Chains A and B, each alone.
Chain A
Amino acid sequence: MAVTLMKGNEAIGEAAIIAGCRHYFGYPITPQNELPAYMSMRLPKVGGTFLQAESEVAAINMVLGASAAGARVMTSSSSPGVSLKMEGISYLSGAELPAVVVNMMRGGPGLGNIAGAQGDYFQAVKGGGHGDYHCIVLAPNGVQELADLTVKAFDLADQYRIVVIILGDGFIGQMSEPITLPAPSGRVFDKSAWMLSGATGRDPHVIASMRLAPDDALAHLNARLQDKYRVIEKAECMWEKSQADDAEFLLVGFGLSARICRSSVSALRKAGVRAGLFRPITLWPFPSGELARAAAGKKKILVVEMNAGQMVEDVRLSVLSSVPVDFLGTLGGVTPSVDEIVERVRSYAR
């Protein structure tokens, strides 16, 4: 396929259409506005529905309705708007409905700023909404991966009847890169056993998270969810290792931070320091086992994030006390520089 120059946010939109998404509901917020604009331009041309909702709360509930009705559906937003979607994400999770939610993170808390940031790791990975649930969380590090993972996100959502969050940031959403548009996966998911379409020739279907009776009905639902999460943890971890095998020092980052880590590894190698990179691509499920194996025997791990230290907790849980873990974070929409990462790692070597 031909190479095209695309903005990250637009690449998500085109990839969603390639994946068969024909319904999009969203509310404007920077830095992801190119995505709803793209969908409003493209969806009507492919027989789809673009609807600008009255709020992120409404948008996520329109997503819930469309998903219950059997459609592949997506919404997108940035940090403050994603906070508003949390109630809906909890309901989607309880009702086991598939959906793809894009968060192009910006600086927080509160209104924060509109620069890219990674401060919503906890919200995406640890819950955010109420109750015992997980979303699959994908962390692309560039425009090509945004497109590829978007196609994958729809398959994962349908396969597991789960919410998939694409956790990017304002920088990768707005950067332009040459990409090859992904092909449709070709996978087909039969939703006829549960979706709402009118009870023609069958008993009525009900989509609900609520379980009142018998007394242990909710416990059973939750146990089933947990079983599903264990399956996903086994089957769906994604990560990338680069120059990690012979490294003395291992950098760990996701998304944009991982790109900066990759440049830092090159710079360190040039300076004669054996550094390597481990990049989780799924943040939930977190590739703990792989990370622990990659970290074995290293002198130190440096976790780099555009936040005050969130994924670093999962890194520590993965390696426990086997390797010392250091952290370098930037706050408020500031990106870490290669120089400061190199300097930090060189200080370990001295």
Chain B
Amino acid sequence: MPVETLQEKLVYGRPQVLADVPNHYCPGCGHGIIHKLLAQCIDELGIQQTTILVAPVGCSVLAYNYIKVDGCEAAHGRAPAVATGIKRVHPEATVIAYQGDGDLLAIGTAETIHAANRGEKITVIFVNNAIYGMTGGQMAPTTLQAQKTKTSPYGRNPADVGYPIRACELINTLDAPVFIERCAVSSVKGILKTKRAIMKGLRNQVEKKGYSFIEILSMCPTGWGMEPREAAAWVDSDMTPVFPLGNLRDR
């Protein structure tokens, strides 16, 4: 009788392009999850050698240390302009601008809108955590109504500072973008959907289709003063009603 041998099959591991180093993100932070998803997508598309990542100023300022592809720093808010310059020199490369909400929707609003409007063939990964994580939890353009932050200690008052900005809806008014989707990494289901959206956004570049925008609702337990589990629940309970999940455009 032949003895049946157990076949080892690796079903889950660290993505190849995700550096095997401890990262600086807080426990429960969404950036780490999103980095892993991005790394998985780069691996699965086999584009490690042709991808150029533009890191923002924000908690993910060191993204190029964690995702082992060519990387470029951008000044606060300028990632889409830097990505434009890179893409115009290397149209064959996959160029990713990874940005937070302060970066993308406050100081960098002009660069965001115009890169989208030109239909730059780049992929923008927008990490919306409704706060400025890096500088210690100040109000962001996406901070929710009544949400308390370091600079809205009585809660965001729309009469004074307006309402949270919906980036996907704003970009959806433009003609050029080919893909716009909002996801969340607060649940396993959401994480899987986010990965599919990132995949689509990157594939659109490989296929030379055009500009893709993926907004990801993400936890900042430290900035929000919550436990990680609580923070994930808050994304679902409080953020998604203001920032509805779903695909807005897929051409």
Contact of A70 among B50, B73, B89, B110 (CB under 8 A): B89
Sorting the interface of chain A by its residue count into under 10, 10 to 19, 20 to 34 or 35 or more gives 35 or more
Query: Is the CB–CB distance between A199 and B81 below 8 Å?
Result: no
A94 to chain B, nearest CB (A): 9
CB pair A61 B50 closer than 8 Å: no
> Does B86 touch A at the CB level, under 8 Å?
yes
Q: How far is the CA of A349 from the CA of B71 in the complex (A)?
A: 63
Let me know if B205 is at the binding interface, CB within 8 A. no
- Complex Cα distance, B81 from A208, in Å, reads 15
In the complex, A230 has a CB within 8 A of chain B = no
Chain A residues whose CB sits within 8 angstroms of the CB of B111 once the complex forms: 54, 57-58, 61
Residues of B within 8 A of A204 (CB): 64, 68-71
Name A42-65 residues within 8 Å CB distance of B.
49, 51, 53-55, 57-59, 61-65
Decide: A58 and B86 in contact? CB cutoff 8 A.
Answer: no
B139 at interface by CB-CB < 8 Å: no
Contacting pair A73 B75 (CB below 8 A): no
Residue B136 interfacial (CB < 8 Å): no
- Once A62-B82, A87-B75, A198-B52 are accepted as A-B contacts, the answer to whether A23 and B93 lie under 8 Å apart by CB is no
B contact residues around A62 at 8 Å (CB): 81-82, 84-85, 88
Q: How far is the CB of B45 from chain A (nearest CB, A)?
A: 13
Q: For the complex, is A11 an interface residue (Cβ under 8 Å from B)?
A: no
In the complex, A122 Cα to B54 Cα: how many Å?
Answer: 32
- List, in ascending order, chain B residues with CB within 8 A of A296's CB: none
CA distance A26 to B189 in the complex (A): 44
- The answer to whether A64 and B85 touch across the interface, beta carbons within 8 angstroms, is yes
Task: Give CA–CA (A65, B71) in the complex, Å.
Answer: 11
A71-B89, A208-B73 given as contacts; is B114 within 8 A of A200 (CB)? no
Q: Does B83 contact A (CB under 8 A)?
A: yes
Tell me whether A65 and B72 are in contact (CB under 8 A).
Answer: yes
**Considering the chains assembled together, what is the distance between the CA atoms of A70 and B73 in angstroms?**
15
Known: A61-B74, A209-B73, A210-B61. Is A198-B90 also a contact (CB below 8 A)? yes
Whether the Cβ atoms of A197 and B114 lie closer than 8 Å is: no
B70-A61 in contact (CB<8A): no
Q: Do residues B75 and A196 form an inter-chain contact, with CB atoms below 8 A?
A: no
A residues less than 8 Å from B110 (CB atoms): 54-55, 57-58
Contact residues in B for A69 (Cβ distance below 8 Å) = 52, 85-86, 89-90
Partner of B73, one of A63, A87, A200, A210: A210
Select which of A23, A59, A71, A207 is within 8 A of B72 by beta carbon.
A207
Contact A68 B50, beta carbon cutoff 8 Å: no
A91 interfacial by beta-carbon distance below 8 Å: yes
Once the chains bind, are A201 and B49 in contact (CB under 8 Å)? Answer: yes
Q: Is the CB of B78 within 8 A of A197?
A: no
A67 to B88 CA separation, bound complex (whole angstroms): 11
Contacts A25-B85, A201-B49, A207-B73 known; list 6 others, CB within 8 Å.
Answer: A68-B86, A88-B75, A95-B73, A200-B50, A205-B71, A206-B70
26 A–B contact pairs at CB < 8 A? A23-B88, A25-B85, A51-B88, A59-B81, A61-B111, A64-B72, A64-B74, A64-B85, A65-B81, A65-B86, A66-B88, A67-B85, A68-B72, A68-B86, A69-B52, A197-B70, A198-B50, A198-B51, A200-B50, A204-B69, A206-B65, A206-B71, A206-B73, A208-B55, A208-B64, A209-B73
Q: Which 3 A-B pairs have the closest CB atoms?
A: A65-B85, A61-B81, A69-B89
